[in-house]
Amino acid sequence: MPPKPKKFICTFCRNDVKHIDYKDSKLLSRFVTYYRSIQSRFHTGVCLKHQKQLASAIKRARNMALIAAVRYEK
Amino acid sequence: MTKYEVMAILSNALDEAQAKEETKNSIVNKIKELGGTITFEDFWGTRGFAYMIKGEKWGYYFVVQFEIDGTKINELKRDWNIDKNLTRFMITSVDPKAPAPRSQEEIKKEWDAMEKEKKISEAESPKKGTRRPAAPAKPAAPAPVAEKAPAPAKEAKPAPKKDDVDKKLDAILEDSSLDL
Ligand SMILES: [Zn+2]
């Protein structure tokens, strides 16, 4: 039997993050797609609890123009 | 008394000194008048918007955390909606689980330190990932970081003072990332 592959743990759980801040735009911009929509948790491996926090943080950051809501092709 | 946080954007028709005065007069003092107490203040300075707001491309950001009776939030909102110097504002309740608030400068420093560490680790140990011939694809995978990392190194080498160049490059990188 080959060894079981290691289970991927959510990056926020690994760093023991209690709350995701909407002001940290650099962090949030890692969890959006090329066209700036929220990336699904299937691709990023974020757990459900943190994905919910992430989504609300991204939406708040969009409202305050910290993060783009859409990407326009130039 | 519950904890709230306001992020306000001041219009770019003001100077930086005027903007700071505005935050004191129209935001901090109004909270105090209604019986609130301020626990945290952070003036970010200028910052470009990710998209145009009311025909403006940048503004002054200001963040305040305060404790106030929940019934008085509507009064604050009404006043700030009338204020012409406020381009936009957002009131949110502070999560009790959230850690103590940090200023934007501290967050920036942390990110800079992280990126420096990454640069060093990438430069020192490129052989760890190259067990197989197909592995060179791996370093290219974190594209946004990898693209940024080599650019400053190339430009910084000929210059004598690295710190000054790094600071300038950081400023440029931030601006360009906001234009997306
Ligand atoms: Zn998690």
- B96 has a pLDDT exceeding 60: yes
Kindly state the average pLDDT of the residues B132-153: 52
Please give the pLDDT value at position B149.
53
Interface test with B, best of A18, A19, A23 (most B CBs within 10 A): A23
Query: A44 to chain B nearest CA, in Å?
Result: 13
* pLDDT at position A35 over 70: yes
Cα–Cα distance, A36 to A72 (Å, whole number)? 10
Give the pLDDT band of residue A73 (cuts 50, 70, 90). Answer: confident
Q: Point out the residue among A21, A60, A67 whose CB comes nearest to the CB of B50.
A: A67
Cβ contact B9–A24 (<8 Å): no
Domain that holds residue B13: 2-95
Give the CATH number for residue B83. 3.30.70.60
pLDDT of residue B105: 87
SS3 for chain B is CEEEEEEEEECCCCCHHHHHHHHHHHHHHHHHHCCCEEEEEEEEEEEEEEEEECCEEEEEEEEEEEEECHHHHHHHHHHHHHCCCEEEEEEEECCCCCCCCCCHHHHHHHHHHHHHHHHHHHHHCCCCCCCCCCCCHHHHCCHHHHHHCHHHHHHHCCCCCHHHHHHHHHHHHHHHHHCC
For residue B102, tell me if it sits in a domain. no
* B165 CA from centroid of ligand 1 (Å): 38
- What's the complex ipTM? 0.81
B151 is a domain residue: no
Minimum Cα–Cα distance from B8: chain A residue = A64
| Interface with A, mutate which of B5, B114, B180 (most A CBs under 10 A) | B180
Q: How many domains does chain B have?
A: 1
The chain B residue lying nearest A73, using CA atoms, is B180
Least CB–CB distance from B49: residue in A18, A65, A71: A65
Give residue A30 CA to ligand 1 midpoint distance, Å.
15
Confidence band for B128, pLDDT divided at 50, 70 and 90: low
A1 pLDDT tier (thresholds 50, 70, 90): confident
* Rounded percentage of chain B residues whose pLDDT exceeds 90: 28
Q: Do B51 and A69 count as a contact with CB atoms less than 8 A apart?
A: yes
**Nearest by CB: A19 against B50, B53, B95:** B95
Q: pLDDT at position A74, please?
A: 67
Q: Residue B176's pLDDT band (boundaries 50, 70, 90)?
A: low
**How much is the pLDDT for B175?**
65
| B103 domain-assigned | no
Comparing CB atoms, the residue among B50, B92, B95 nearest residue A66 is B50
In chain B, which residue's Cα lies nearest the Cα of A62?
Answer: B50
CA distance A27 to A58: 10
Q: How far does residue B7's CA lie from ligand 1's centre (Å)?
A: 26
- Judge whether B171 lies within some domain: no
pLDDT of residue B22: 85
Q: What's the pLDDT tens digit per position in B70-91?
A: 899 999 999 999 988 899 999 9
Asked if the model's pLDDT at residue B144 lies above 80, the reply is no
By CB atoms closer than 10 A (0-12, 13-18, 19+), residue B50 is buried
Please report where in the chains the tokens 């209690």 appear, as a residue. Answer: A18
Domains of chain A: 21-74 (4.10.640.10)
Global pTM reads 0.71
